[in-house]
Amino acid sequence: MKLFRYVAAPLFASALVALLLAFMPGLDRLYRPGGESPAFSPKNHSALGERNLVERLQALPLQLRITRVEWQSSILSVDLLVTPTTMAKDTVYHDMYELSRFGVTDTPNVNQVLVRILRQPTNSKRDAVLLAALDARRDPDGERAEEADGSGVTDVEQYLASRYRVTYTQEWKQFFRM
């Protein structure tokens, strides 16, 4: 009988502890109104802010290197650097499109996206040279913009030119031989 008591008591206590641990995750619902709120849900990341700016931009499929980002008063400013390995026109237009779509269409609190395309000069002592600039603004009527086909450079280029203000410098024209 003593053997039963020495074996049964710890088994019973262990089962009781395991049962209590199984119910612990549900206890916080009693103290938190609204039930559970997952830490990594898409709704928590819909608005852009200083806390999620880096992670949201890292999630974009950009090919050019980001050299500067500024977030101020619903305006997102991004500088992209064209390097010898990423100097294709389609790469530049792809990244301009992705940033404009992200800011103006996918993020509710961004009203304007400013993108500067820069090229590092061959003489590394000089500052980067501006090639092009994009000024994408949210439609004041609040209509969701139709998306570009994305099947070719001219489609994305025409889409950007028809929806937003794109400015090219003389350096762009020489660089890409327009």
Q: Tens-of-pLDDT digits for all 178 residues of the chain?
A: 676 677 777 878 888 777 777 777 766 555 555 555 444 444 434 788 888 899 999 999 999 999 999 999 899 999 999 987 777 889 999 999 999 999 998 888 999 999 999 998 776 667 889 999 999 998 876 554 555 555 555 689 999 999 999 999 999 988 887 5
Angle at 71 between CA 131 and CA 165, to 5 degrees: 40
Q: What pLDDT does residue 22 have?
A: 77
Range of the domain at 96: 48-176
Q: What pLDDT does residue 142 have?
A: 56
Q: Are residues 20 and 56 in the same domain?
A: no
**Number of separate domains in the chain:** 2
Q: Are residues 68 and 95 in the same domain?
A: yes
Secondary structure class of 130 (helix, strand, coil): strand
Q: Are residues 85 and 26 in the same domain?
A: no
What is the value of pTM for the model shown?
Answer: 0.68
CA–CA dist 89, 162 (Å, integer): 18
Q: What pLDDT does residue 13 have?
A: 81
Give me the helices (H) in 32-152, please. Answer: 53-58, 89-100
Q: Are residues 167 and 144 in the same domain?
A: yes
Q: Are residues 32 and 69 in the same domain?
A: no
Residue 43 lies in a domain: no
Q: Are residues 27 and 80 in the same domain?
A: no
Residue 67 lies in a domain: yes
Secondary structure class of 137 (helix, strand, coil): strand
**First and final C-alpha spacing in the chain:** 96
Tokens 């206590």, located at residue? 13
Q: Are residues 63 and 29 in the same domain?
A: no
Q: Are residues 71 and 143 in the same domain?
A: yes
Residue 91 lies in a domain: yes
Residue 28 lies in a domain: yes
Q: Are residues 156 and 133 in the same domain?
A: yes
Q: Are residues 75 and 24 in the same domain?
A: no
Residue 42 lies in a domain: no
Q: Are residues 84 and 103 in the same domain?
A: yes
Q: Are residues 53 and 127 in the same domain?
A: yes
